[in-house]
Structure 1
Amino acid sequence: MLFLVLGKGKTGSLVAEIAHERGHGVRALDINENRGASALTAPTLAGVDTVIDFTSAEAAVQNMRAVLALGSRIVVGTTGWYAHLDEMRSKAQKRGALLYGTNFSIGVQKLFRLTAELARLDGYQFSISETHHNTKLDAPSGTALTLQEIIHAARPGSYVPITSHRVGDAKGEHIVTANSDIDVLELRHDAASRRGFALGAVRAAEWLAKQQPGAYDFRDIFDQL
């Protein structure tokens, strides 16, 4: 397959490296080469199986609009753009295809499911803590917001605080804590490297290349990889 990676930051560069390791052709554009999605034209996307976005929230919205308008497929690992999710879902239902997720790590997907199970317990107060590198722009992280959403779905009307930390080059840690009068339960995912996120994104791009037009949430499809 041929993938076009948008973003040459730490994760985007690793995505390109892993895609190459898995035998795929790879092109990559940084923000200066694709300012305002200007490089996402029909000739650029000709022959590209899937675009993979690891840019910024603002850039990702522009990139999705351009890619979907041309009927192409895009995996979005960027977070912080979800105010536009309904718009992007609507566009993807008409042509192209979109796969999005707050976290492409398989381990984090398991954390989501364990959190849903834990949240069904009565008599507990829940909280979330997340730690990322000090150049991460959004806080709380998209993963922490997903964890909060999962708990709220199981416990309507509950309040689940999120504490965010930005420290050095932290790869990503998320902790879900359930406190009661008799004990404390804790679920934790601590990324040792960015490779888990990048590998998940490449596998997602491989999967999306074979799908019909539509919008897909990584939480719903990761078991199919």
Structure 2
Amino acid sequence: MKIALLGYGRMGKTIEEIAENRGHEIVLKVSDGIENYDLTKADVAIDFSVPDAAFKNITICFKAGVPVVSGTTGWLDDYEKATKICSEENSAFIYASNFSLGVNVFFELNRKLAGMMQGLEDYSIEIEEIHHTKKLDAPSGTAISLAEQIIHENKQLKGWQLDSADENKIPIHAKRIKDVPGTHVVSYDSNIDTIEIKHTAKSRQGFALGAVVAAEYLQDKTGIYSMKDVLADLFKN
């Protein structure tokens, strides 16, 4: 498989290493705008660019006939427009706030726990996320996904806020510490006890591997997919 890397920072370099170890070829590595590059030589693009560039990069790929796997967060106000263009161009797309296979298991635990806790009014909910100091967006896309899953299960909750939160909203505390790949904690606290679930990434390898596996899944497909589809395919095999 021939891969175009959109965003060639630390994550892009890790994806390159894993992709090549799995027998794939990196045919394009771009850190800036992609308008002047030939994308048609790629079977799929993996986007880990910056929020301001993501929507433009993704839609340029669709119009060039190149499916996209995107892990860039902070641009999701334009997600619906991106999926519309994907469908119009008969292309394929997977967006995930986190491609780590372990994190996607964590998402399933979060949904299940939220459903169990939604009737227990004595518990307050908080989310904490810790990332490296070079992460541009806060809170992380993963933390937002966790919050949205909880809100979907608990109809009394009306949203989330960064740091402090109004009544019926989930506070998300975002910390930036040097060389921390990513930690997420969901806490339910009462006067009696505290229940927590936690995922701690030890390196970028898990995120990068999941992105490459998603690209392998997406090749030769059309449509909008998610990591749930990728995991279902893995478990099937």
Report the TM-score range of the alignment, normalised by the length of the smaller protein.
over 0.9
SS in 2 for 1:99: strand
Q: Give runs of aligned pairs for residues 1-225 of structure 1, distance below 5 A.
A: 1-32=1-32, 35=33, 37-40=34-37, 44-94=38-88, 95-120=90-115, 121=117, 122-123=119-120, 124-158=123-157, 159-211=169-221, 213-225=222-234
- Identity %, equivalent residues: 39
* Distance of 1:219 and 1:137 partners within structure 2: 26
Q: Is the 8 A contact 1:3 1:51 kept in 2?
A: yes
Change in 2 beyond 3 A, CA 1:147/1:83: same
Deviation sequence 1:53-98 (CA, Å, 0-9, x none): 1110111111111011122201001111100011011111122111
SS in 2 for 1:160: strand
Distance in 2 (CA, whole Å) between partners of 1:79 and 1:31 is 16
Q: Is the 8 A contact 1:96 1:214 kept in 2?
A: yes
Q: Deviations over 1:111-165 (max 9, x none)?
A: 1111111112232221100000011100000000000000000112322110000
Q: Which amino acid is the alignment partner of residue 214 of structure 2? A: A
Q: 1:48 to 1:30 in 2, by over 3 A?
A: closer
2:177 and 2:229 map into 1 onto residues whose CA distance is 31
Q: Report the RMSD for the aligned CA atoms in angstroms.
A: 1.3
Query: Structure 1: any 5+ residue segments left out of the alignment?
Result: none
**For the Cα contact (< 8 Å) 1:101–1:219, is it kept in 2?**
no
User: What SS does the corresponding residue of 1:119 show, helix, strand or coil?
Assistant: helix
Q: Distance in 1 between matches of 2:2 and 2:187?
A: 42
Q: 1:92 to 1:137 in 2, by over 3 A?
A: same
- Say if 1:18 and 1:202, in contact at 8 Å, map to a contact too: yes
Q: Give how far 1:103 is off.
A: 0.1
Give the TM-score normalised by the residue count of structure 2: 0.88
Contact 1:173–1:190 (Cα < 8 Å) also in 2:
yes
**Counterpart Cα distance in 2 of 1:62 and 1:46:** 16
* 8 A Cα contact 1:15 1:202, kept in partner: yes
For residue 232 of structure 2, what is the amino acid of its counterpart? Answer: D
Q: Which runs of 4+ in 1 moved over 6 A?
A: none
Deviation at 1:47, TM superposition (A): 3.5
**Within 1, Cα distance between the matches of 2:28 and 2:201?**
25
Asked whether the equivalents of residues 8 and 28 of structure 1 are also in contact (C-alpha less than 8 Å), the reply is: no
- Structure 1 residue 48 displacement after superposition: 1.5
TM-score, normalising length: structure 1: 0.92
Q: Distance in 2 between matches of 1:171 and 1:5?
A: 20
